[in-house]
Structure 1
Amino acid sequence: MPNALISTAPDFSQPIAVLKHCHDKIRQQLSTLQNLLDHVPQHGSDAQAQQAAHNVMRYFNQSAPHHHADEEHDLLPMLRATATGEDADLLQKLTPEILAEHQQMDRLWLSLNLQLTQIADGAPVQAAPLLSPQDVQQFSAIYSAHMEKEETWIAPMAKRIFNDQQMQQLGAAMQQRRGIPA
């Protein structure tokens, strides 16, 4: 009997649910970044800030690249191969936007990762903030709009047009990317 008190992630037999779960995790990490903007100026790089920085870094250095690869190498190509009519037209418009947003987020992450490394390492607060509010706001805004686009258009399209075999193929590719045995 499953424990209803413990939240579990969907398994790879439900790849679109896994992608949505990743989005939920991203939203949690973006919230932590926002919290760090308030915390660090008041408390410095204390143990709480260090742990929060480590958590955000772990997610965006490990899980987020897998998520982007899921979309770039599997989901979007599979959709392009399957979609017809209005779906194909929409994909032709959205795919370049999604890929460009991934690149934007990756570039912003490079800067944020360096900033968070200082916090994670316990660097003292200087006159200049350790964490750039502008970088955090821009990163959060791009990610939020990006996830909204995928949840509004891409995920529903995949659920609607993929057959069971395609869903299994997508889930298997995502699972393999993470090194999780079948």
Structure 2
Amino acid sequence: MDLFNTASASFDEPVSMLLACHDKVKRFCRQLNALPAHVAAHGMDAAAQQAVVQIRRYFNQAAPLHHLDEEADFFPLLRQYCPEAAADLDFLQAQHDVLHQTWAKLDAHLQALASGSLNIVDADLIARYTGLYAQHTAIEEPWFARGQAAIDAEKMAAIGKNMAARRKV
């Protein structure tokens, strides 16, 4: 599974890439929300194990890069071109910290599930995490569209180049 390759988006269109990341976040959040019922019915079977591996990989690798793309490149330009975004951007940046902290707890929990040292899924922790992300994307996505319309093409191209560079090892 290539976490950074999407057929519908490229770094030449950074807002499309940001939205593609959100699509993946939403897909993995749906998987997280389904995990408690699945584990209750089937235990940590192969399907649950595979889902946990993919979820953990995405939220440990791609999600932090996505947040960095926003904080280092997109949000500063959005503040410049759409100053009315300031309050939402302050909230979103603070929420990145809350998402990272909540993920650290959930990641440890998922690792314990996968290793067999736990056999009960913390549905409340999952709901808290996925709820935070649902709130986050609902606020953020309209600003993606507004930023794409407001920020000049040269600066958008620079954002895309920075995003691509972050993913080169």
Give the alignment's TM-score, normalised by structure 1.
0.85
Q: Secondary structure at the match of 1:12?
A: coil
- Unaligned residue ranges in structure 2 (runs of 5+): 1-5
Kindly, what percent of the aligned residue pairs are identical? 31
- Alpha-carbon spacing, 1:101–1:124, altered in 2? closer, same or farther (3 Å): closer
User: Matched residues in 2 for 1:124 and 1:174: separation?
Assistant: 37
- Which residue pairs with 2:168 in the alignment? 179
Q: Secondary structure at the match of 2:12?
A: coil
Residue 116 of structure 1 aligns with an amino acid whose one-letter code is L
Residue 132 of structure 2 aligns with an amino acid whose one-letter code is I
Aligned length: 164
- Which residue pairs with 1:65 in the alignment? 64
CA apart distance, 1:46: 1.5
**Mapping for residues 94-173 of structure 1, pairs under 5 Å:** 94-123=88-117, 125=119, 129=120, 131-152=121-142, 154-173=143-162
- Which residue pairs with 2:87 in the alignment? 93
CA apart distance, 1:9: 3.6
User: Matched residues in 2 for 1:120 and 1:167: separation?
Assistant: 40
Q: Cα RMSD between the aligned structures?
A: 1.4
Residue 14 of structure 1 aligns with an amino acid whose one-letter code is E
- Which residue pairs with 2:35 in the alignment? 36
**Mapping for residues 42-61 of structure 1, pairs under 5 Å:** 42-61=41-60
Report if the CA contact (8 A) 1:50-1:122 is conserved.
no
Residue 34 of structure 1 aligns with an amino acid whose one-letter code is N
CA apart distance, 1:122: 3.6
Report if the CA contact (8 A) 1:44-1:124 is conserved.
no
Structure with higher Rg: it is 1
Which deviates more, 133-142 or 22-31?
Answer: 133-142
User: Matched residues in 1 for 2:85 and 2:144: separation?
Assistant: 12
User: Matched residues in 1 for 2:105 and 2:20: separation?
Assistant: 25
